[in-house]
Amino acid sequence: MKVGFISLGCSKNLIDTEATIGLFKKHKYEITNQEENAEILIINTCGFIETAKEEAINTILEMAEYKKKNCKYLIVMGCLVQRYYEELIKAIPEVDLFIKIDEYDKLWEKIENLIKRNIVVKSKTTINKKILDIPKMPMLKQNEFLERTVTTGQNYAYLKIGEGCSNRCTYCAIPYIRGPFVSRKKEDIIQEARELAKKGIKEIIVIAQDTTKYGIDIYGEEKLPELLEEISKIEEIKWIRFLYSYPEGITDKLIDTVATNPKIAKYFDIPIQHISDTVLRKMNRRTSKEQIKGLIEKIRKNIPDVTLRTSLIVGFPGETKEEFEELLKFVEETKFDKLGAFMYSKEEGTPASKLSEQIHGNTKKSRYNKVMELQQRISKEKLMEKLNKKYEVLVENISFDGKYYIARTMQDVPEIDGLVYIKNNKKEKIINKFVKCQITRNK
């Protein structure tokens, strides 16, 4: 049978999808990229904020149309299912199987039962032994190594080091969906990194909801620096980066590890969310304005060529005009290399959803636009600083017209940050190779 996959949401979700693809491939199913050819369609959903939920529902309904054609089984898994399991069963009967996150250890058993049940219902005398007699394979366990099918190409792969989150920010539903933070064993992570390296992966992107919390639950202390050092010992791995590091968890040891290890990108992705102490307290964040500013100053002092990325929330309940202006001033002064902003999304079940003084949608949109317009100007200034400088880049593709190779510097996260275009001189093929180039212009 042919199986098609759609993965929505974050890179952490993508890893779950890749592990599920791996299970199907071990069971000798054929994977297809064309939904119209799939006999089984699997959607891994996101349920983080309102826009993600809308995208997930629309995708499910769109894929349900294929049930009228070639698709025999429509399966939906992931965060949306974990959060709205009962409601989804009632609302979308076209789906044959919903799988919650806390059922991932029984994922293959549930899929087998669905197919067996359907075959028996269709014919009580003819049972497809080819499907029923397949040997049991490993379940999709959250914190164990699994043979994944990497879907991000030949050069980079995500490596999840923990599941869930224990920070309990008042606006965030992640702890209610995926539970508290649980670290994977270091040996298991290193094994997976080695397997990825054997497949030719050159860049490892370490991820978790908060990577700085790695190790606290099983080793009694933060172990991210040691883990990064261990991964860097794998010879085939050339670049390493880690994403989503909360400011309170960035220690001097971590800063020193990034500063001194040549394989680790001089890149910090620090979701600060706001700078007003009042708003930060309402968000149940564990840092203050003074601490955030001090951390940024320390990082830049110890790593002069560092790239700093952050994310902000505008329109949090009760955010005053003055507090927003304070945020704007901070962005102007700090000049982050990369910045993303979100309009506050009221998520049911979270403490922030119960706060009074919810901000009007138009105000949130206006504040979002102001932040992004300011950052656009800052980004242009940052790009100008790169002119005439030389960088080592990883070449990953070629433009449709064949005129340019498409590459990234070590300071650019795939599919999030910028790209480098190199003129194709037709003399040599450099795709999937590291080369050096000089930046001559930008846009």
Q: Alpha helices, DSSP H only, in 199-268?
A: 216-219, 224-232, 252-260
Whether the per-residue pLDDT at 181 is higher than 90: the answer is yes
Residues 115 and 200 in one domain: no
Residue 5 per-residue DSSP state: E
Q: Does residue 311 lie in a domain region?
A: yes
Residues 196 and 327 in one domain: yes
pLDDT score for 356: 87
Residues 421 and 307 in one domain: no
More confident: 117 or 45:
45
Residues 107 and 202 in one domain: no
Q: Does residue 317 lie in a domain region?
A: yes
Residues 360 and 419 in one domain: no
**What digits encode the pLDDT tens for the residues 196-212?**
999 999 999 999 999 99
Residues 189 and 212 in one domain: yes
pLDDT score for 207: 96
pLDDT score for 5: 95
Phi-psi domain of 393 (left: phi exceeds 0; alpha: psi -120 through 50; beta: other): beta
Whether the per-residue pLDDT at 44 is higher than 90: the answer is yes
Helix 50-64 and helix 79-91: axis angle, to 10°? 50
Residues 187 and 79 in one domain: no
Q: How confident is the model at residue 146 (pLDDT cuts 50, 70, 90)?
A: low
Tell the burial category of 214 from Cβ atoms under 10 Å away from its Cβ (0-12, 13-18, 19+): buried
Over residues 331-348, mean pLDDT? 95
Q: Does residue 273 lie in a domain region?
A: yes
Q: How confident is the model at residue 427 (pLDDT cuts 50, 70, 90)?
A: confident
CATH number where 122 lies: 3.40.50.12160
Residues 288 and 430 in one domain: no
How far apart CA 272 and CA 287 sit, in angstroms, is 9
CATH number where 344 lies: 3.80.30.20
Residues 105 and 183 in one domain: no
Residues 270 and 344 in one domain: yes
Residues 119 and 174 in one domain: no
**What digits encode the pLDDT tens for the residues 298-319?**
999 999 999 999 999 999 999 9
Over residues 353-374, mean pLDDT? 96
Global model pTM greater than 0.85 = yes
Give the rounded percent of residues in the chain with a pLDDT score beyond 90. Answer: 77
Q: Does residue 146 lie in a domain region?
A: no
Q: Does residue 112 lie in a domain region?
A: yes
Give the rounded percent of residues in the chain with a pLDDT score beyond 70. Answer: 93
How far apart CA 379 and CA 375 sit, in angstroms, is 6
pLDDT score for 127: 30
pLDDT score for 349: 87
How far apart CA 144 and CA 20 sit, in angstroms, is 13
Q: Does residue 338 lie in a domain region?
A: yes
Over residues 236-248, mean pLDDT? 96
Number of domains in the chain: 3
Q: Does residue 207 lie in a domain region?
A: yes
Q: How confident is the model at residue 125 (pLDDT cuts 50, 70, 90)?
A: very low
Residues 381 and 416 in one domain: no
Q: How confident is the model at residue 119 (pLDDT cuts 50, 70, 90)?
A: low
More confident: 429 or 228:
228
pLDDT score for 368: 98
Q: Does residue 169 lie in a domain region?
A: yes
CATH number where 397 lies: 2.40.50.140
| H or E element, residue 17 | helix 11-26
- What number of helices (H) and strands (E) belong to the chain? 14, 17
Q: Which one of 120-129, 280-289, 397-406 scores highest in mean pLDDT?
A: 280-289
Q: How confident is the model at residue 120 (pLDDT cuts 50, 70, 90)?
A: very low
Quote the domain boundaries for residue 166.
Answer: 156-385
User: Residue 429's CB: how many other CB atoms inside 10 A?
Assistant: 11
Q: Mean pLDDT over all residues of the chain?
A: 90
> Which residues, 6 or more positions from 369, have their beta carbon under 8 angstroms from its beta carbon?
none
